[in-house]
Amino acid sequence: MSEAHDRAESKLRVNMKLSVVEGLFAMPICFFALPGNFLTASLATEAIGLKESVYGVIASLPAWANVVQLFALPWLTRHLSQKTICLSFSWIHLMCWTAIGYSLPKIAMGGPWHSPTLVVLLFALGALAFSLVNVSWTSWVQEWLPTKARGKYLGRRNRLLQISTVAFLVAASWFIGYWKESALFGFQMVIFGSVAMRAVSIVLQLRILPTKRIADERGSRLVEQFSVILKNKPLTRFVLFGAVFGFTANVMGPFFPVFFYKALGMSVAEVARLAMVATTTGALSMPLWGRICDKYGCRPSLLIALGVWMGIGYGYFFATPERLWVLYVIWGIGGTAGAGFLFGSFSMILKLIPPEAKTAAISFNLAASSLSAAVAPIVGGFIFAWAESSFVDLVGVFHVMSCIHHTATLLTGLILFGVAEPKAATLTQAIGAMRPMRQLGALLGVSFLANYSFFRKEDEE
């Protein structure tokens, strides 16, 4: 028995090391895959030369992919293991980005293959594959990582991924800035480098050893669970909040980097520094928000964080090409508040989801959040295109749009007053429950949360 235990412990140690290393190698391509991130915004609107309305469609693709995977994943899980799904679609996602990198000079403005439809199709295939990878990876990890080891291990893994994200942003922004006269070449090299690192990551994932399997809910009937969901008023109201917040935040959120480039004349390197400031302040504040949530509850924490986050956003009114320092203040404070808001959202959904209807609740929340987040950037793209063609003063347009954006998003907090918070959490983890919120972090300055693994300590379960 001791020998079998030692073998299991040895397998676990190997798997944990491999998972950390493969995560570090996967970070660059994962950042590219996030909706509304500043690199993709520059790639689409500056390098490829797409209209803002087309970029709005691209920014909405991950949300549409979330909806599609709700129907695709149950069918896949009946025929394939979570590991097979994860690895298979990881290679497909990799091939999509390889195709984007290879064809970049041809699909850019003036190239022989320049077609918004082709570009959107490439990004759409990549978004769907990435969506399936994310959910299947989370399920697969639970098959080999014991519950008691998740807290300490995932905490360390999260910190290393944050460091690798910052390192990638520094390197990528410097390289693209160095080749600013040949932007297409700069982006090609960054994409190819990210693809090569992701290939190493997938190979390392292949080496993760099989261990015990956990029970899942693939045999559950979702229809029978929805009656439980509809009776849970706090959950349905919180899902409503998430859907409305996702819409208001995503209408103009993905276009802030575009405003930075076109209205304020900022470079990719300068926008990268903003992201690094927000990532640093957000990461450092996470333990504090954890203690606040534990002491005062998730709803008060959410309301405070949302108020500070959107309140500091009014500072954009004072941002001009001559006063770019204002942005560092906004993103520094916004990174801290945004981290608290997203941390509170994760904790709240863990408390609200009923264990007897976990699958249905996750699907319900994911569908509602994804649909609103999918429509919003398309609407925002047309608004941006109209404003750009109708007004000469793009800086003034930016000021007005940012005020409307932050006011509308702030008002969504009123819905939270109708959400009654349970005293204790009922789940240790909800797979994919708040994935739209994870993705939202990319365009709101806390991109490290896109790969942050949330957990509750064993003594809290």
User: Does position 329 have pLDDT exceeding 90, yes or no?
Assistant: yes
**Which pLDDT does position 136 carry in this prediction?**
81
**458 contacts 151 by C-beta, under 8 angstroms:** yes
Higher pLDDT, 218 or 383: 383
**74 contacts 218 by C-beta, under 8 angstroms:** yes
pLDDT classification of 320: cutoffs 50, 70, 90: very high
With CA atoms as reference, report the closest residue to 447 among 434, 437, 459, 457.
Answer: 437
In the numeric block, the tokens 């929340």 are attached to: 365
Give CA–CA dist 400/423, Å, rounded: 41
Mean pLDDT across the stretch 82-87? 88
Give CA–CA dist 286/346, Å, rounded: 12
Structural domains present in the chain? 11-210+222-456 (1.20.1250.20)
pLDDT classification of 211: cutoffs 50, 70, 90: low
User: Does position 302 have pLDDT exceeding 70, yes or no?
Assistant: yes
pTM over 0.75: no
With CA atoms as reference, report the closest residue to 409 among 445, 444, 436.
Answer: 444
The dihedral through the CA atoms of 280, 283, 287, 289 has a sign that is positive
- Please give the helix or strand (H or E) that residue 11 lies within, else none: helix 2-33
With CA atoms as reference, report the closest residue to 58 among 106, 127, 134.
Answer: 127
User: Does position 182 have pLDDT exceeding 90, yes or no?
Assistant: no
pLDDT classification of 135: cutoffs 50, 70, 90: confident
**Which pLDDT does position 38 carry in this prediction?**
82
**What is the DSSP secondary-structure string of 270-303?**
HHHHHHHHHHHHHHHHHHHHHHHHHHH-HHHHHH
Mean pLDDT across the stretch 360-383? 80
In the numeric block, the tokens 């319900």 are attached to: 364
Instruction: Please report, rounded to a whole number, the percentage of residues in the chain having pLDDT higher than 70.
Output: 82
**Which pLDDT does position 353 carry in this prediction?**
73
Mean pLDDT across the stretch 243-252? 89
pLDDT classification of 352: cutoffs 50, 70, 90: confident
Sequence-ordered list of residues with C-beta below 8 angstroms from that of 120, at least 6 positions apart, any chain: 54, 57, 58, 61
**Which pLDDT does position 395 carry in this prediction?**
92
